[in-house]
Amino acid sequence: MLIDWFTVGAQALNFIILVWLLKRFLYTPVLSAIDAREKRIARVSADADRQTSEVQKSRDELLAERKAFDDQRGALLAKAGLDAKAQGERLLSSARQAAESLTSKQNAALLAESLELSDRLGRLAATESLSIARSILKDLADTPLEERISEIFAHRLRGTDPKTREAFDTSLKRSDDVVVVASSFELSDRDKAKIQTAVNETFSADIPLRFETSSQGIAGIALTSGGQRLSWTIADYLKTLEEKVADLLKSRAVPVTEQPTGSSATSLRQEAPAAAA
């Protein structure tokens, strides 16, 4: 079998030309298209991953903001609850204080009214008692009430108990104060002389006296020196009446309680100084 080398060479040349043409016009564009597609796919995938990451980041930020908002809302609600409770307590305390203040004012007003009424009744009773006493003394003995009070004071002064006399005598020796005789009415010279004589006889000494007229007390006379005080007044006789009036006023709100009445109304009283009380 004869080999036609020309034909073999031509076919080999044609094959090489075909391969070159395929590579030049087919394989190269196809490979370029494949590379471009792969690059595009990689780019799209990278963009998708980046967007996914951004979405996840945004989601995390939203969750964090929502959690912070929930925490803040809870704190605000708790604070609002505490503020409301505190405000309620303040309002309740204010209302309680207002009620207590109103009650206190009402009690003070009632007490003031009771004291005023008691004082008015006491003064009225004293005035009427003095008026009656003056009329009785005038009708029976033709003696002024003031003169009779001076005589009683002088008599009671002479009958002072030893303990009281000793305390008053000690006060007279220690004190350089002037001995004052205060009366609720103007004493006559005769009454002053009676009292002066009674004081000198009681304390066995010539004691100078200063006579004064005082608006305090009701128809009475008081001897004071160095904080010591000896007095006698018709007001002592009204003590029982005043206590009964006070009990009557108290009976409006509370049961009446028995109170002991003073027994010194008919005797000379020694009153301790205010500082010692």
Q: pLDDT-derived band of residue 143, with 50, 70 and 90 as boundaries? A: low
Q: pLDDT-derived band of residue 263, with 50, 70 and 90 as boundaries? A: very low
Q: What is the largest CA-CA distance in the chain?
A: 201
Q: Is the pLDDT of residue 4 over 60?
A: yes
pLDDT in the model for residue 210: 83
Q: pLDDT-derived band of residue 273, with 50, 70 and 90 as boundaries? A: very low
Q: pLDDT-derived band of residue 175, with 50, 70 and 90 as boundaries? A: low
% of the chain residues with pLDDT over 70: 72
pLDDT in the model for residue 130: 62
Distance CA 269, CA 200 (A): 19
Distance CA 203, CA 166 (A): 9
pLDDT in the model for residue 260: 43
Q: pLDDT-derived band of residue 148, with 50, 70 and 90 as boundaries? A: confident
**Cα dist. 255→104, 112, 226, 259 in Å?**
21, 20, 43, 12
Q: What average pLDDT is seen over the chain?
A: 76
Q: Is the pLDDT of residue 138 over 50?
A: yes
pLDDT in the model for residue 242: 65
Q: Which H, E and C letters describe the chain, residue by residue?
A: CCCCHHHHHHHHHHHHHHHHHHHHHHHHHHHHHHHHHHHHHHHHHHHHHHHHHHHHHHHHHHHHHHHHHHHHHHHHHHHHHHHHHHHHHHHHHHHHHHHHHHHHHHHHHHHHHHHHHHHHHHHHHHHHHHHHHHHHHHHHCCCCHHHHHHHHHHHHHHCCCHHHHHHHHHHHHHCCCCEEEEECCCCCHHHHHHHHHHHHHHHCCCCCEEEEECCCCCCEEEEEECCEEEEEEHHHHHHHHHHHHHHHHHCCCCCCCCCCCCCHHHCCEEECCCCCC
pLDDT tens profile 71-128: 888 888 888 888 888 888 888 888 888 888 888 888 888 888 877 877 777 677 666 7
pLDDT in the model for residue 195: 85
Average pLDDT for residues 60-80, to the nearest whole number?
A: 88
Name the more confident of 156 and 241.
156
pLDDT in the model for residue 140: 43
pLDDT in the model for residue 15: 86
Q: Are 271 and 229 in contact (CB under 8 A)?
A: yes
Q: Is the pLDDT of residue 179 over 70?
A: yes
Distance CA 110, CA 105 (A): 8
Amino acid at the residue 86: A
Q: Is the pLDDT of residue 243 over 80?
A: no
